[in-house]
Structure 1
Amino acid sequence: MKELNCIVVDDEPMALDLIESYVLKTPFLKLAGKCNNAFEAMQLLKEENIDLIFMDIQMPDLNGLDFSRTLKGKARLIFTTAFDQYAIEGYKVDALDYLLKPFDYTEFLAAASKALDWYQITERNNQDSGGERKPAKEYLFVRSEYRQLKIRIDDILYFEGLKDYIKIYLKDQQKPILTLKSLKSIFEELPEKRFMRIHRSFVIALDKIDEIERNQVVIQGKRITVSESYRDDFQEYISKNSF
């Protein structure tokens, strides 16, 4: 079963906690974060690969409908609100579903299942048409200090995200390359089966792992912790490649 990375956005703490509890008890949902407002959600979307957003509509400064009009990329929305007059507006911005507060877990699960169905159908259609999420490539061009540098995929050890820029560590090169780019955006450009995100701040080249010790990987002497959010995916990869 496909697992959907999701975030919950609501300015009411009780509503935030309730939806979080619903997410945690749903096997195909993985909670990537909670946000008190749309601006926090925007920042998290830059850092994480998000499939699904549970978002309240009525929030201060930037409401859910206005936020949805700024949304780019693959993340889909399920609106949560206490006001049913927003239902038509919600579908105008192509929300997957609309949950009217107060809603119970059965209603939540039905909406989440609709999102799962949508992603599975989309994925199946892409496979039938021969599409791939990430094309095979041998190198990347990255901007660093007013230059476009050509980096061979085979030379990449790992990426480290530092707020608004990333460090790219290469074999046979002590000093990392700095580029003004998000970790999420560069991860989407990488060959899918060769790289994995194991931490909010790290993407690693799987073939460059020298050893694994408890919850850490070692790449040319650098120890990187596999965070809890990414541990299941990493353990599944290790199990498939162990004998």
Structure 2
Amino acid sequence: MLRIALVEDTLSEAQYAIHAINRFCEQENIHERFGELAIERFEYAQKFLDASRSQDFDLIIMDIDMPYGQDSINGMNAAAQFREQSDSHADIPILFTTKVSQLAAQGYQVNAIGYVVKPYDYATFAMFMKRAIANIDFNLRGITLTVATRDGVSFVPSSDIIFIQVRDHLIDVHLRDGQLLTTWGKLRTFCEQLKDSYFVQCNRDSLVNMRYVAGFNDSELFIRLPQDAFYKTTDEVQEKNASENDIMSFKVSRRKKSEVYDALFAVKSRR
């Protein structure tokens, strides 16, 4: 099922958006890929936030210019609160609609995939919907790993893993909440398990989640770390507190360079 939250206070504009969504899904055979389409309209941003605490959505289409009436919250503030509600909301695509294009620039603060200016044409809307579907595909391709440690067994969604490294014949699995799981085995086992989940091995000792790659140069990848987490890698002698410096570098071996950068461009072009 493809679950879409449409946060729009104006009935006529909500009806137009629903028509455009249905048209896109029919043209792109979305039903064959995701099954049933469920669109839920929310007239007020606060109603959406309340619902999102107990309901899961794959895509949010949000009007920025929500009225400051019943709940005194606009679409931009609602999107920020949605992101903060849960770690699982971090990767849900948000598409803004607005009559004032200047407001849309703030959308990048909440990692929106883009915005359309009302009244928008179908071609523009469809372009952003394709980007949204690519993001949803990206999120769905995650798997759950079973990681055995000295303290027991943990079931870890691949989307929660930032990077995995070899250390003194052990395997360190670094999670986005700063938690470190240390297990045993071989890095190539994790490489095989995660090969279809947008991970790439950049050197002999490191496997990184490409969704956290913030940039690169000729010899390094740069990973953006969540704030207020604590990390230590074999690439760097000192430990890092992400609240002090939220970028961590990983060396890219010459042998892996072409494979790494080709994979990275392929992934980022979907976003």
TM-score when normalising by structure 2: 0.44
TM-score if structure 1 supplies the norm length? 0.48
